[in-house]
């Protein structure tokens, strides 16, 4: 009788899967993944300088990423300002420091909440949809079709999205800052009856343009990270609706983690630069 | 069996073999898909690659155009190692190929017109007016009605998409056409239309063709030569993965019973295996 090759016997015997080997694989995968994102990022940057994308490609992407994100960033910004005012008011009022609300709310917004929120919204609204779009293109071989037609997919697909995120996120951040500041001020001075003059005076004493710049500076890194992570996820999407859905989710989750990580690292960096420039004030490092 | 002749002399090679796979092995992370494949495709030839799903036919096409690089061995196009090409040379090589993808792979965000014009515009092959004329010509050649050029790919039927895909591939006047399962998923009439278009392309444009298919009608209609691949996981140790390499007329008479089974569509051995597995797992 003929020997029937069953699945198991036709494959080389593999090492048994133990918790240790699985952990090893996981670590190996993570390192390989980080390396791959780095390679992808370098290629993207090389292509930015090699060939400028066409306007007909850039404009719709800038529109989709920038203009369509304005409302969501504005709304979340406003609410964060208002929530901050409501939450902080009682503590400050108890100590008789209600007029200090202005400095606390506004410094939190321009240095931390504005940039991080704008980035989170961009990651959620734009990052996951870019990843799903590119993932669909990968799965339906459209990315291969680009290469087959002699067009580099990184040049055609990633560079425009990267530029849009990088160049538009500072504007979105400023927009979020502005709405947050307005939201906080309206609640504080109109609803909670904090003295308006004192509110703004304390704001002006404690918040300067350098603080706003610190937030905007960080946002460039957030925008770059969102674009690169989301496009990379999309490019490596696995087949099927499930694969594309997972790419979109992962794009958001990874972007969000990296945003928080960068926020921490850039915060430290900024403080040490600041204390180097103005030695009398103390930095964290 | 390798009727392209293993005894080819160095030097004649370049003219003789436009595409050559030399000892090509393709390994993905969890499986080896192709193993030590040798295949030379001559200029002007139309080769059908047949074999069951998952045996590596698409991978083979992607190797030829350098979308994938072999783990071992080399792929040559017109004498050059495909893996070593980059920059303008790579683009030049790619533009000598037309690739009809299995699901057509039209760009969703672009209109039919922009899809077909893509290669022409991206590489500034010609002016916009000339491009306009070429696009409409190509669409007419594949038998699509006027007016279709302003539609989005999502509005087209499967057969129309395939034909737009064909028009897009042909727009840049390729020397070699790669077709990935051109008739899969189409009704018999539309399949015949596509087969006819492949034949027409081959005759009027003198293209070299590689047609991946498991449609025997396509094989009989267009093939000068048939190569049958077999899934590596089902192969006995030491066997070549290419079960058949020869003219289409010889398929039925192949000494290997697996070739005839595939051509006639007989599951044979597989059914017995399935029964055995069911039996085995039931115990
Ligand atoms: N990029 C890839 N990564 C991992 N595995 C792949 C990749 N492309 C193809 N494969 C695997 O290679 C095998 C052959 O695929 P393919 O060439 O598409 O088969 P077919 O002969 O049906 O066209 C499949 O098992 C598939 O899962
Ligand atoms: Mg296939």
Segment B78-126, tens digit of pLDDT:
999 999 998 899 999 999 999 999 999 999 999 999 999 999 999 988 8
The pLDDT, as a whole number, for residue B276 is 84
pLDDT for B2-26, tens place per residue? 444 444 444 444 456 899 999 999 9
The pLDDT, as a whole number, for residue A18 is 84
End-to-end, the C-alpha distance of chain A in Å comes to 77
Of B94, B102, B233, the CB nearest to A10: B233
Nearby residues for ligand 2 (ion, Cβ within 5 Å): B 58
CA gap A67, A61 in Å, rounded: 10
In sequence order, the β-bridge partners of residue B242 are: B229
Mean pLDDT (chain A) is: 89
Among B59, B213, B228, B243, residue to substitute to test ligand 1 (most atoms within 8 Å of Cβ): B59
- DSSP, collapsed to helix, strand or coil, labels residue B225 as strand
pLDDT for A19-57, tens place per residue? 888 888 889 888 998 999 999 999 999 999 999 999 999
Task: Tell which atom from ligand 1 comes closest to the C-alpha of B53.
Answer: 22
B174: left (phi over 0), alpha (psi -120 to 50) or beta: beta
Among B21, B25, B27, B28, residue to substitute to test ligand 1 (most atoms within 8 Å of Cβ): B28
Interchain proximity B105–A145, CB inside 8 Å? yes
Task: Give the distance (Å) from ligand 2 centre to CA of residue B232.
Answer: 15
Greatest alpha-carbon pair distance for chain A in Å reads 97
Q: Which residue has the tokens 């090679």?
A: B13
Tokens of A186: 């309206």
The reply to whether A142 touches chain B by the CB within 8 Å rule is: yes
The pLDDT, as a whole number, for residue A281 is 56
pLDDT for B219-243, tens place per residue? 999 999 999 999 998 888 888 999 9
Distances (CA, A) of A204 to A100, A106, A197, B124, B182: 11, 10, 11, 56, 69
Which CATH class name applies to B6-96+174-282? alpha beta
Tokens of B3: 């009727």
The reply to whether B67 touches chain A by the CB within 8 Å rule is: yes
């Amino acid at each position: 009788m003929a020997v029937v090759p069953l699945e198991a016997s036709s494959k080389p015997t593999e090492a048994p899967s133990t918790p240790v080997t699985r952990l090893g694989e996981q670590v190996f995968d993570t390192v390989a993944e980080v390396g791959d994102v780095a390679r992808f990022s370098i290629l993207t940057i090389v292509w930015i300088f090699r060939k400028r994308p066409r306007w007909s490609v850039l404009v719709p992407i800038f529109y989709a990423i920038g203009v369509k994100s304005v409302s969501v960033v504005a709304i979340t910004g406003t609410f964060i300002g208002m929530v901050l005012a409501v939450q902080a008011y009682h503590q400050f009022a108890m100590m008789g420091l209600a007029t200090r609300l202005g400095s606390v709310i506004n410094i939190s917004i321009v240095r931390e909440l504005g940039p991080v929120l704008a980035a989170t919204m961009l990651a959620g609204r734009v990052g996951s949809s870019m990843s799903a779009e590119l993932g669909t293109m990968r799965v339906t071989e459209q990315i291969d079709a680009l290469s087959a037609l002699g067009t580099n997919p990184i040049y055609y697909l990633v560079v425009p999205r990267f530029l849009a995120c990088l160049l538009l996120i500072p504007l979105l951040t400023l927009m979020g800052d502005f709405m947050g500041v307005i939201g906080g001020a309206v609640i504080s001075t109109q609803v909670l009856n904090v003295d308006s003059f004192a509110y703004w005076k304390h704001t002006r004493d404690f918040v300067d343009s350098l603080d706003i710049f610190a937030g905007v500076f960080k946002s460039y890194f957030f925008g770059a990270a969102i674009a690169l992570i989301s496009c990379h996820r999309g490019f490596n999407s696995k087949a099927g609706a499930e694969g594309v859905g997972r790419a979109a989710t992962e794009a958001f989750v990874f972007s969000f983690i990296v945003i928080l990580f960068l926020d921490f690292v850039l915060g430290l960096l900024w403080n040490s630069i600041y204390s180097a420039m103005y030695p009398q004030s103390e930095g964290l490092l | 069996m390798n009727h392209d002749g293993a005894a080819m002399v160095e030097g004649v090679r370049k003219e003789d073999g436009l595409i050559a796979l030399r000892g090509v092995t393709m390994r993905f992370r969890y499986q080896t898909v192709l193993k030590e494949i040798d295949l030379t495709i001559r200029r002007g030839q139309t080769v059908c690659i047949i074999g069951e799903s998952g045996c590596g036919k698409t991978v083979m096409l992607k190797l030829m155009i350098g979308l994938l690089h072999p783990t071992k061995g080399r792929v040559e196009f017109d004498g050059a190692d495909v893996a070593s090409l980059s920059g303008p040379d790579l683009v030049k090589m790619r533009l000598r190929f037309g690739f009809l993808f299995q699901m057509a792979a039209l760009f969703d965000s672009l209109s039919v017109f922009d899809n077909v014009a893509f290669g022409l515009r991206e590489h500034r092959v010609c002016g916009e007016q000339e491009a306009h004329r070429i696009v409409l010509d190509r669409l007419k050649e594949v038998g699509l009605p006027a007016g279709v050029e302003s539609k989005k790919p999502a509005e087209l039927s499967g057969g129309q998409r395939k034909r737009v895909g064909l028009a897009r591939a042909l727009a840049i006047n390729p020397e070699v056409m790669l077709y990935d399962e051109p008739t899969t998923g189409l009704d018999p009439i539309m399949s015949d239309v596509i087969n006819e278009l492949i034949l027409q392309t081959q005759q009027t444009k003198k293209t070299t063709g590689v047609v991946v298919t498991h449609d025997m009608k396509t094989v009989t209609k267009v093939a000068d030569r048939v190569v049958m691949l077999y899934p590596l996981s089902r192969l006995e140790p030491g066997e070549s993965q290419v079960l058949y390499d020869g003219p289409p007329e010889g398929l039925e008479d192949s000494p290997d019973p697996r070739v005839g089974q595939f051509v006639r569509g007989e599951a044979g051995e597989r059914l017995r295996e399935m029964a055995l597995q069911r039996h085995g797992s039931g115990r």
